[in-house]
Amino acid sequence: MSAALAPFASSAPLPVALPAALKAEPGGEHSPGERQLLDTIRRVAAPGWGSPGWAALIVLFHQFPAPGPRAHHRRVARALLDDAAQRHGGQVFALRNLDLVLLCPQAPLRAPLAMRPHGAPPGTPLGETLPELMLRLLRAETQAAAPPLALWSLPEQRHRLLAYAADRLAEVGLTPLDRAVARAEPPVGSTTAAETHVVPDLLLRQTAVFLDTAGAALRLRPLFREITYAAALQAETGIDPFEADPFLLRHFAIRLEQRLLAALPGEAKRGGALDPLAASPPLHLNLAPDAITTDAFAALAALCRAHGVRLGVEITLVDAGADPASYAAARAILAAGGITCAIDQASLLALRLTRLVTLAPDLVKLEWTPRLSRLSGPERQDLEADLRDIGPERILLMGADSEAALQWGLTRGIRRFQGRHVDAMLAASRLAICSHAGGCTLRQCTERASATAPAGRAGCRNTPLLDAGAPGEHAA
Amino acid sequence: MSTALSRPADDLAHDLRPSSAEDARRLSALVEECGTSGISRQVLLLRLSQLPDGRNRPHHIQLATDALLPLTGAARAHRFHLPNHDQVVVWRGDTPALAASLETLRHLFSDDPSFGPDPMALASILALPGDADFVRHIVADSLRPRLPPPIPRLGGLPLDPPTLLALERAIVQADMSRFVRREPICRTGSDGFRLMWERRYLSDGELFDTILPDRAPRADPWLFRRLTRTLDRRMLALLSAVGETRGAPPFGIDLNVASLLAPEFLRFDANLPTALRGQLVINLRAEDILTDLSSFCFARDFAIARSYRLLLHDVSLSQLALLPPDRLGIDLAQLRFTPALASEILPPAIDPGIIILGNADASALAWGRAQGITLFQGRIARPPVRPGR
């Protein structure tokens, strides 16, 4: 049994019949759960009640790291707790701070859940109890060091439970609304409206660099400049990628990619932020495999080739895995054209669950998360093996938003980085040598460099430096 | 003008059956009577509905029908013509006529075994009252309305978000029960095919042909996937109907990860009969899993805890290499057979015991067996005598 559940292990009285105090109370999402909980605990824990062997299992959703639990986390937890309550004569209390409390006899909570008859996949603990299952489900989601679960036995730990319930009651009226409910799915129509936006308004650009550690000081060598749209899409449409329908978002993104492909040749030789011929370092476009097999892409590739300009394409793991035949066709076109093929959005989970090397990309863009540096021994060994399989020279650490990210990558031989920390380093370098940077802040310079629309670049009086891949490439 | 030999099987079968709906009712009554009285009866089930294309011509059906004639002379013999063309003979006690009928059936399609039905799947021997649930299931299945096969689409406009919305509203209100289809998953062995479970699904092609004939919903793969969530909800609603899962044999359903975590599934799970717990397979698709790996892991662990088996549905060999089942933590994978696959081999790292070879025909069967695969879905994997036990 996990250390987090240790208090529970210390007491093992036999189960007793359901007390009337529990039977009498109705439960439900819309009932005043805090008051019911406190009243019920007081009755159950009253002197002379004489029914030991109960426990409170509390799912501490309010402790979930930002942006909080998703709606399905709470739904599933509620279903599991309701099932236990129904089977064993307990009750579930749903609190306004999103926490769920199960009051139930202890014995069933200590018994293994039903076994699956056909064998469990590797890594699935057999014979786990409900608290252990909840802990495993939620710990994987929160990736938090502290377990989002409490298990207190009654009557031994009634004071802790009473204090907890009293605190929750005191919070009523002060707690935020249920975020899981508030983050509703956006209407389909919002994506339709977004399609009318001018393309540059929905785009951002971000430079990726090679971090040269050969000399005494770190040197940044720009590799490419990616045209992205996720953040701008969210800002313009109000769609939260975290909660929105991912299929709808993917549809919209592909429509946007098609519009971008159609627009880019027209930007050639205009010297704007989206000029594919002026781009130094080369542009990286996010495209679905099907877009790469179109005439529009062939025309853009031919234009770049004719002017000796390199180009790169980033394909999401989802797109590559959804239609491997299209991916293979696209990969062949890119290879024949000498165009870099990167697999985008390779998360830690993606490394764990898939074999990315089978896609044979030129570059894998691994998403940085602080969790990478907090892995347990076996997890770390698995990750290191995956990184070796891919080869650190083919890995770019994306979302590198801190010094810790760079350090983590550098110690594993990764030299390619992209993210807010890199943006800031580049902006600082520009500001250091820019003769027009009088009142410019680091943030302003960073944001202007990421903008593709003229409005976003307004205020900069040295756009050639802003557009240069690295300060050293352009005279101030 | 059509001749007898070129007429569709439906026409001739209609001629052959006297009153199929009435027969279905009579057979159901007899099954109940056996259960009540405890009197044993033998059953021969002739699944003419499962004859492959090219083998369901009128003369094939006539010959198969004639093969049952000896059995009709057995003690207390009753013959039933079910609405889907299946035929059932029920009798009491042992009879040498059974061997004669089976022998005739065995040789009926032996001229070219590659294209003939599996004799073991074509004719099944059952016993009442022990197999009452399975016979009830066969009768219920025969009563489901059959739609004509969809007309192949030559094109059509892809969906757009407003049309998608309208379509979702239409699906929510439509009677979906007539679009429910079943597809057997069989294990092959020395004694032929044995039904392991059935995939229950909504035939989206037939649905779209009916309510949106001028569109090609699959042309936009991501809007189509969004649409499948609505189909998931409807399928779960159908399965949650009273009596739908009581006594049902093992089955599988297609779901999105989000649907597995939706209120509709949680209600379905809460009401699942105990006998079916551990017997259901959830079919998940690669693109859906990859779209939100975090939700997939959560849903996977939840489903495992509730004793469902998870299947990676309809993947190619390259998808299987990208998404190895042991890494994903799922139980099964259905590999789509194509002629090109015949020149490939199953990667040694993949356990053939967890692979279902889908879209299986004779060449798929040969290839699959050579790889050590024993589970098949497709035209050649025809239903079994009874669910595997």
pLDDT digits (tens, 9 = 90+) for A176-227: 444 444 444 444 545 554 565 556 667 888 999 999 888 777 788 999 999 8
- Structurally, chain B folds into a number of domains equal to 2
* Same-domain pairing of A220 and A306: yes
* Same-domain pairing of B325 and B237: yes
Instruction: Name, of A46-50, A175-179, B2-6, the range with top average pLDDT.
Output: A46-50
Least reliable range by pLDDT among A113-122, A428-437, B376-385: A113-122
* Same-domain pairing of B202 and B269: yes
Interface test with B, best of A353, A356, A379 (most B CBs within 10 A): A353
> Residue A7 has what pLDDT?
37
Query: Given CB atoms, is A72 within the 8 Å cutoff of chain B?
Result: yes
* Same-domain pairing of A287 and A199: yes
* Same-domain pairing of B131 and B200: no
Nearest-CA residue of chain A relative to B331?
A: A121
- Assess if residue B382 is contained within a domain: no
- Structurally, chain A folds into a number of domains equal to 2
Question: Number of residue pairs across A and B with CB atoms under 8 Å?
Answer: 150
Tens-place pLDDT, residues A80-93: 999 999 988 889 99
Averaged pLDDT of chain B: 82
User: Which A residues 236-255 touch B at CB under 8 Å?
Assistant: 245-248, 250-251, 254
CB contact under 8 A, A353 and B327: yes
CB contact under 8 A, B328 and A353: yes
Kindly state the average pLDDT of the residues A10-38: 47
Answer for the pair A476, A434: CB distance below 8 angstroms, yes or no. Answer: yes
B326 alpha-carbon distance from chain centroid: 26
pLDDT reading at B28 higher than 60: yes
Least reliable range by pLDDT among B104-108, B194-198, B303-307: B104-108
* Same-domain pairing of A276 and A344: yes
Side chain identity at residue B242, one-letter code: V
* Same-domain pairing of B71 and B209: no
* Same-domain pairing of A447 and A301: yes
Gyration radius of chain B's alpha carbons: 22
- Assess if residue B148 is contained within a domain: no
**Overall pTM > 0.80:** no
> Residue B169 has what pLDDT?
87
Q: How many CA atoms lie within 13 A of B126 on its CB side?
A: 28
Which residues of A fall within a CB distance of 8 Å from B293? 347, 349-350, 353
* Same-domain pairing of A148 and A88: yes
Q: How many CA atoms lie within 13 A of B270 on its CB side?
A: 19
**Phi-psi category of A463—alpha, beta or left, where left has phi over 0 and alpha has psi -120 to 50?**
alpha
* Same-domain pairing of B235 and B313: yes
* Same-domain pairing of B47 and B180: no
Cis peptide before A281, with omega less than 30 degrees from 0? yes
Tens-place pLDDT, residues B221-233: 899 999 999 999 9
Tens-place pLDDT, residues A106-146: 888 888 876 554 445 444 556 788 998 888 888 777 766 66
Question: For helices A295-306 and A246-267, what crossing angle results, to 10°?
Answer: 40
- Assess if residue B383 is contained within a domain: no
* Same-domain pairing of A198 and A175: no
Nearest-CA residue of chain A relative to B313?
A: A322
Confidence of residue A303 (pLDDT cuts 50, 70, 90): very high
pLDDT reading at B127 higher than 70: yes
Query: Given CB atoms, is A318 within the 8 Å cutoff of chain B?
Result: yes
* Same-domain pairing of B209 and B99: no
Kindly state the average pLDDT of the residues A293-303: 93
Structure tokens at B274: 């105990």
- Assess if residue B387 is contained within a domain: no
User: Which position has the higher pLDDT, A341 or A65?
Assistant: A341
Q: Which domain holds residue B120?
A: 9-143
Residue B313 pairs in a beta bridge with B285
* Same-domain pairing of B165 and B83: no
pLDDT reading at A239 higher than 70: no
Indicate the residue among A124, A154, A182 that finishes a domain: A182
> Residue A463 has what pLDDT?
86
Averaged pLDDT of chain A: 80
In this structure, the dihedral spanned by the alpha carbons of residues A355, A356, A360 and A366, taken in order and rounded to 10 degrees, is: -160
Nearest-CA residue of chain A relative to B270?
A: A83
Distance between CA atoms of A471 and B3, rounded to whole angstroms?
Answer: 84
Kindly state the average pLDDT of the residues A408-422: 96
* Same-domain pairing of B297 and B354: yes
Which residues of B fall within a CB distance of 8 Å from A379? none
Tens-place pLDDT, residues A149-169: 999 988 888 888 889 988 888
Indicate the residue among A182, A207, A222 that finishes a domain: A182
The minimal CB distance from A247 to the residues B222, B277, B295 is found for B222
* Same-domain pairing of A162 and A244: no
* Same-domain pairing of A128 and A254: no
* Same-domain pairing of A96 and A16: yes
CATH number for the domain harbouring residue B210:
3.20.20.450
Sheet containing B78-81: give its strands across: B78-81, B87-91, B41-46, B123-128
> Residue B17 has what pLDDT?
45
Kindly state the average pLDDT of the residues B21-34: 86
Confidence of residue A452 (pLDDT cuts 50, 70, 90): confident
State percent of chain A over pLDDT 70. 76
> Residue A253 has what pLDDT?
82
- In chain B, what is the straight-line distance between the N-terminal and C-terminal CA atoms, in Å? 49
- Assess if residue B294 is contained within a domain: yes
- The CA distances from residue B283 to A365, A396, B53, B176, B356, in Å, are 30, 34, 27, 20, 12
Which residues of B fall within a CB distance of 8 Å from A189? 161-162, 165
- The CA distances from residue A236 to A264, B162, B175, in Å, are 21, 20, 39
> Residue B33 has what pLDDT?
87
Kindly state the average pLDDT of the residues B119-142: 78
Kindly state the average pLDDT of the residues B270-287: 93
- Assess if residue B173 is contained within a domain: yes
Tens-place pLDDT, residues B29-76: 888 888 888 888 999 888 887 776 556 666 677 777 788 888 888 888
Indicate the residue among B87, B110, B143 that finishes a domain: B143
CB contact under 8 A, B331 and A119: yes
Interface test with B, best of A78, A82, A250, A251 (most B CBs within 10 A): A251
Tens-place pLDDT, residues B138-183: 887 777 655 444 444 446 788 888 888 888 888 888 889 889 999 9
Q: Which domain holds residue A113?
A: 3-182
CB contact under 8 A, B291 and A347: no
- What is residue A28's DSSP assignment? -
- Assess if residue B174 is contained within a domain: yes
HEC profile for B225-294?
A: HHHHHHHHHHHHHHHCCCCCCCCCCCEEEECCHHHHCCHHHHHHHHCCCHHHCCCCEEEEEHHHHHHCHH
Instruction: Name, of A225-229, A414-418, A430-434, B81-85, the range with top average pLDDT.
Output: A414-418
User: Which A residues 361-420 touch B at CB under 8 Å?
Assistant: none
Confidence of residue A24 (pLDDT cuts 50, 70, 90): very low
Confidence of residue B291 (pLDDT cuts 50, 70, 90): very high
Tens-place pLDDT, residues A245-277: 788 888 888 888 888 888 888 888 877 778 888
> Residue A2 has what pLDDT?
43
Residue A278 DSSP SS3: coil
Which residues of B fall within a CB distance of 8 Å from A113? 305
State percent of chain A over pLDDT 90. 39
**Phi-psi category of B247—alpha, beta or left, where left has phi over 0 and alpha has psi -120 to 50?**
left
- The CA distances from residue A333 to A124, A225, A262, A361, A385, in Å, are 42, 21, 19, 13, 30
* Same-domain pairing of A198 and A167: no
State percent of chain B over pLDDT 90. 40
Interface test with A, best of B164, B222, B227, B315 (most A CBs within 10 A): B222
> Residue B115 has what pLDDT?
43
* Same-domain pairing of A212 and A163: no
CATH number for the domain harbouring residue B111:
3.30.70
Nearest-CA residue of chain A relative to B291?
A: A318
- Assess if residue B16 is contained within a domain: yes
Residues contacting residue B357 through CB under 8 Å, at least 6 positions apart: B334, B335, B337, B364, B365, B367, B368, B373, B375, B376, B377, B378
Indicate the residue among A182, A216, A243 that finishes a domain: A182
Kindly state the average pLDDT of the residues B111-122: 53
State percent of chain B over pLDDT 70. 84
The minimal CB distance from B220 to the residues A140, A188, A251 is found for A251
* Same-domain pairing of A243 and A298: yes
* Same-domain pairing of B256 and B319: yes
